[in-house]
Structure 1
Amino acid sequence: MPGVMKKSELFNIIKSAACLNKSSANTGKGRSKLSNNKVSHGFHLVKGKSGHEMEDYHVSAYRCENNHELGLFAIFDGHLGDRVPSYLKANLFDNILKEPLFWRDPNSAIKNAYCNTNKSILENSTQLGPGGSTAVTAIVIDGKDLWIANIGDSRAVLCERGAADQLTVDHEPDAERSRIERQGGFVTIFPGDVPRVNGQLAVARAFGDQNLKAHLSSDPAIRHVLIDPTMEFVILASDGLWKVMKNQEAVDLVKPIKDPQAAAKRLTTEALARKSKDDISCVVIRFRC
């Protein structure tokens, strides 16, 4: 349940999450061990050239729950600091799996956990600061079921029969102008810039952002996919990749690369070659490895 934490408790959460994602852990890979339908993954994160510290965090882990093997994957793309994405890394999946509805109704459990986690972040904004984060999360159950959720513009793209299928929604301010205005906010579009909520944030949904909380949503877009042999892999990435690469380009680039870590690194390398200045973070999840 959301609540205000002691400053020392919150600092320890942030510190433990941050230690997992500094430069020593910006690339890696792993695979499932128990499921008959094997899953493998690789990740690669690159700090951008925008002048601030790295604000992207990732999750890539396997966990046994209720006699099922879960693959837990995420990209959290922070703004105005890294405290909110580090908090998400430490808490979001635990909050999802603690939801009583998870095994009966994953859709509702994920939605509730996103919203309750956001409430907790806002209630602890004195310690976490004014920043926020987008998120894209993936839960693979026994290598058979894929649950994707996102808020903001971090994106999940599925390769099925060689074709790219975007599983997430880019929550752009202009597309949600009516809701934002009903909640007392506004959307600006200055020449040469992207639409922004109250002239500040380029996404309509995010975690945190205390100063914009009245005008942002934390309600995730959720997609459920039954994994079948036509599906090869999923790419999760922050907008540092998608700003310079189309979905099909990304799929075509890494389709021949069987090692998911090498695939993730190939995507970040290409994004840098295309002059992406943002932090670039990528997880590639391969099915039936």
Structure 2
Amino acid sequence: MEEEFWTQPDRAIIKAYDKTDQAILSHRPDLGQGGSTAVTAILVNGSQLWVANIGDSRSVLLKGGDVFQMTTDHDPNADRSSIENKGGFVSNMPGDVPRVNGQLAVARAFGDRNLKSHLRSDPDIQVKEIDHTAELLILASDGLWKVMNNNEAVEIAKRSKDPQVAAKQLTAEALKRESKDDISCIVVRFKAQ
């Protein structure tokens, strides 16, 4: 698969996500019934940023002073037709969040064996040219994005030149805003070319 990455990175990423999903499903006795969302970023030759995701983990890039969302949030409403074509349904019960079969608030995920026949685990992939104007990249789980928008997160991350400190500040701010979901965060700082 490594060789394929250099010729067809998108196909290699899709295969890696599929292998990850299969590994999680095969370890079900150890891992339980649940699943996971994911966001990954790969910088190739310092000039091409490949970002992939499933679920509601998100990546945001600050480049040339502009904020770019590099991922797609896989809301069940957005994939409703795919879910329904596979025999599932989307419901806002319980609560006010759309859920696959009334259970899962994302339409794509690793694992989740009991809903697998209705879910997808193939990633959305975006590629962006990286040059001297690229400043930072944020990769985070939905616990961050449920309580702040992309611009707010970038403004907080810009305050610190140390990416580890910036990630801790984002996490602390999400907790301060009473996020009720998991909060995982990585900040990447690009060096000027």
TM range (shorter): over 0.9
Identify the range of structure 1 (100-109 vs 239-248) with the bigger mean alpha-carbon deviation: 100-109
Distance 1:123 1:281 in 2: 25
Identify the range of structure 1 (190-199 vs 221-230) with the bigger mean alpha-carbon deviation: 190-199
Counterpart selection for 2:139 from 230, 236, 239 = 236
The answer as to 2:59 corresponding to 1:156 is yes
- Quick check: 2:39–2:57 contact (8 Å CA) kept in 1? yes
Letter in structure 1 aligned against 2:165: A
Match of 1:131 in 2: 34
Match of 2:104 in 1: 201
The answer as to 2:13 corresponding to 1:110 is yes
Identify the range of structure 1 (195-204 vs 107-116) with the bigger mean alpha-carbon deviation: 107-116
CA-to-partner distance for each residue in 1:10-38, whole Å, 9 max, x for gaps? xxxxxxxxxxxxxxxxxxxxxxxxxxxxx
Match of 1:142 in 2: 45
- Quick check: 1:155–1:237 contact (8 Å CA) kept in 2? yes
Match of 1:72 in 2: none
Distance 1:173 1:245 in 2: 21
Q: CA deviation at 1:192?
A: 4.0
Q: CA deviation at 1:99?
A: 4.4
TM-score computed with the length of structure 1 as normaliser: 0.64
Identify the range of structure 1 (210-219 vs 125-134) with the bigger mean alpha-carbon deviation: 125-134
Long gaps (5+) in structure 1: 1-97
Match of 2:82 in 1: 179
Distance 2:140 2:174 in 1: 11
CA-to-partner distance for each residue in 1:51-88, whole Å, 9 max, x for gaps? xxxxxxxxxxxxxxxxxxxxxxxxxxxxxxxxxxxxxx
- Quick check: 1:136–1:236 contact (8 Å CA) kept in 2? yes
| Structure 1 SS opposite 2:105 | coil
- Percent identical: 62
| Structure 2 SS opposite 1:213 | helix
Distance 1:280 1:123 in 2: 26
Identify the range of structure 1 (197-206 vs 113-122) with the bigger mean alpha-carbon deviation: 113-122
Q: CA deviation at 1:160?
A: 1.6
What are the equivalent positions in structure 2 for 1:13-32 lying under 5 Å apart? Answer: none
Letter in structure 1 aligned against 2:139: L
Distance 1:188 1:179 in 2: 14
Q: How much is the aligned-residue C-alpha RMSD, in angstroms?
A: 1.5
Long gaps (5+) in structure 2: none
Q: CA deviation at 1:110?
A: 0.2
Q: Indicate the structure with greater strand content.
A: 1
Distance 1:128 1:277 in 2: 22
The answer as to 2:114 corresponding to 1:214 is no
Give the structure, 1 or 2, with the largest relative contact order (CA under 8 Å, sep 6 or more).
1
Distance 1:153 1:275 in 2: 18
Q: CA deviation at 1:189?
A: 1.2
Q: Give the aligned length.
A: 192
The answer as to 2:129 corresponding to 1:226 is yes
Q: CA deviation at 1:279?
A: 2.1
TM-score computed with the length of structure 2 as normaliser: 0.94
